[in-house]
């Protein structure tokens, strides 16, 4: 079985189109999940949009995730239909294109992009063209996305190390960091009064886990720390929102994945590749986590195999959409 290794996260879009759930009833619909608190499940097929959230404070709006430029333009009028208060901040939960490439759109609306310091460090690593080096992921994404090609890459300029707090006396939002998970700069937006958590892609609800820029072992530990918040509502980076079981299920999936890969300790990559159908079947047997096993599984297995001391295997050319 050929491994599809997505070294470029924007190539996630091709895989999502192949492995996503059937359309959820709430896709592209604004959901009010608390007083002045909103969730919007993004359209994965064919747009590649992430989920968004926003909180209407007394004098301004804080948006969770900048999305792709086209995704930002989808929700801007939806926010305007709810409030005439300006969007002053757009929080990038991490550096990937479907969560941060829309920064310029928000800047043009008067907002400041925010992120954990690790997100900017990741941008410096992967968005080399922005920092005077060879073309990076942005330029690659622009080849296949008109909205990216017609925009500009803007890095977050308001950064935090451990936490950043927004509190107007009525609403409180804490931007937090618990360690490496989906990336090394994952940020979480926590609303302690309502016990609502926006997770970015550190927790998703479906076959959307890109593991290339993170660490599965550390991801499991990070989720354990996050669970201690006691969230009642979890708004994932992709897929429908849910309750605290989303954190449990996301963690359980990676634990099960590690356990399956452990059977191949000391084996050659070819043996692991040949076992992909059986690994998929084993994960699908568990109804609790079956929804996470999809088109990304070969790359996830390879990542776990390498983390357990195994060798990487040759990667074919990423198929074009």
Instruction: Say if 145 falls within a structural domain.
Output: yes
Please, which pLDDT band fits residue 14 given cuts at 50, 70 and 90? Answer: very low
| Edge-to-edge strand ranges of the sheet holding 87-91 | 30-34, 37-40, 52-56, 61-64, 87-91, 112-116, 158-160
Give the residue carrying structure tokens 């999502």: 16
Instruction: Say if 298 falls within a structural domain.
Output: no
Distance between CA 226 and CA 223 in Å, rounded? 5
Distance between CA 182 and CA 61 in Å, rounded? 26
Distance between CA 179 and CA 200 in Å, rounded? 13
Bridge partners of 188, per DSSP, are 176
Share of the chain above pLDDT 70, in %: 90
Instruction: Say if 263 falls within a structural domain.
Output: no
Containing H/E element for 172?
strand 172-176
pLDDT digits (tens, 9 = 90+) for 284-294: 999 999 999 99
* Residue of 249, 303, 297, 254 lying closest to 275 (CA atoms): 297
pLDDT digits (tens, 9 = 90+) for 68-88: 999 999 999 999 999 999 999
State the average pLDDT over residues 155-164.
98
Instruction: Say if 121 falls within a structural domain.
Output: yes
pLDDT digits (tens, 9 = 90+) for 21-57: 333 448 999 999 999 999 999 999 899 999 999 999 9
Which pLDDT score is estimated for 2?
A: 36
Which pLDDT score is estimated for 37?
A: 98
Which pLDDT score is estimated for 136?
A: 95
Range of the structural domain that residue 133 is part of: 19-244
Instruction: Say if 203 falls within a structural domain.
Output: yes
pLDDT digits (tens, 9 = 90+) for 218-261: 999 999 999 999 999 999 999 999 999 999 999 999 999 999 99
Instruction: Say if 256 falls within a structural domain.
Output: no
199 pLDDT higher than 80: yes
Could you give the count of Cα atoms lying within 13 Å of 268 in the half-sphere of its Cβ? 4
Which pLDDT score is estimated for 188?
A: 99
Burial profile 81-104: b = 16 or more Cβ within 10 angstroms, e = fewer: eeeeeebbbbbbbbbbbbbbbbbb
Split into its structural domains, the chain has a count of: 1
- The pTM assigned to this predicted structure is 0.91
The whole-chain average pLDDT of the chain stands at 91
Distances in Å between the Cα of 107 and the Cα atoms of 18, 69, 114, 258, 284 are 33, 11, 11, 41, 43
Instruction: Say if 103 falls within a structural domain.
Output: yes
Encoded tokens for 269: 């990559």
**Phi, then psi, of 40 in degrees rounded to 5:** -135, 115
Please, which pLDDT band fits residue 316 given cuts at 50, 70 and 90? Answer: low
Distances in Å between the Cα of 289 and the Cα atoms of 229, 246, 250 are 22, 10, 7
Please, which pLDDT band fits residue 17 given cuts at 50, 70 and 90? Answer: very low
Instruction: Say if 165 falls within a structural domain.
Output: yes
183 pLDDT higher than 90: yes
Which pLDDT score is estimated for 289?
A: 98
Kindly report the CATH number assigned to the domain that includes residue 120.
3.60.15.10
Which pLDDT score is estimated for 318?
A: 40
């Amino acid at each position: 079985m050929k491994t599809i290794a997505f070294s470029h996260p924007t190539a996630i879009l091709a895989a999502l189109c192949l492995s996503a759930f059937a359309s959820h009833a709430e896709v592209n619909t604004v959901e009010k999940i608390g007083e002045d608190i909103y969730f919007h499940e993004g359209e994965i097929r064919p747009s590649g949009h992430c989920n968004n959230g926003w909180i209407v404070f007394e004098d301004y709006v804080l948006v969770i995730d900048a999305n792709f430029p086209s995704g930002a333009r989808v929700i801007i009028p939806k926010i305007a239909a709810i409030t005439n208060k300006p969007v002053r901040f757009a929080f990038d939960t991490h550096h990937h294109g479907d969560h941060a490439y829309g920064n310029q759109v928000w800047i043009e609306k008067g907002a400041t992009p925010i992120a954990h310091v690790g997100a900017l460090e990741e941008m410096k690593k992967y968005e080399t063209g922005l920092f005077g080096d060879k073309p990076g992921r942005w330029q690659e994404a622009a080849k296949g996305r008109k909205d990216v090609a017609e925009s500009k890459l803007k890095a977050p300029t308001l950064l935090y190390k451990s936490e950043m707090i927004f509190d107007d006396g009525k609403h409180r939002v804490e931007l937090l960091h618990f360690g490496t998970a989906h990336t090394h700069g994952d940020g979480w937006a926590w609303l302690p009064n309502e016990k609502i958590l926006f997770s970015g892609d550190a927790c998703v609800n479906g076959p959307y886990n890109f593991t290339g820029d993170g660490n599965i072992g550390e991801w499991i530990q990070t989720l354990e720390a996050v669970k201690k918040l006691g969230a009642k509502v979890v708004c994932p980076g992709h897929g429908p929102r849910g309750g605290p079981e989303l954190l449990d299920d996301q963690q359980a999936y990676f634990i099960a994945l590690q356990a399956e890969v452990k059977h191949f300790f000391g084996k050659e990559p070819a043996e692991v590749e040949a076992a992909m159908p059986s690994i998929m079947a084993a994960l699908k047997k568990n109804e609790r986590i079956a929804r996470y096993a999809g088109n990304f599984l070969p790359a996830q297995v390879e990542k776990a195999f390498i983390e357990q001391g195994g060798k990487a295997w040759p990667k074919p050319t990423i198929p074009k959409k």
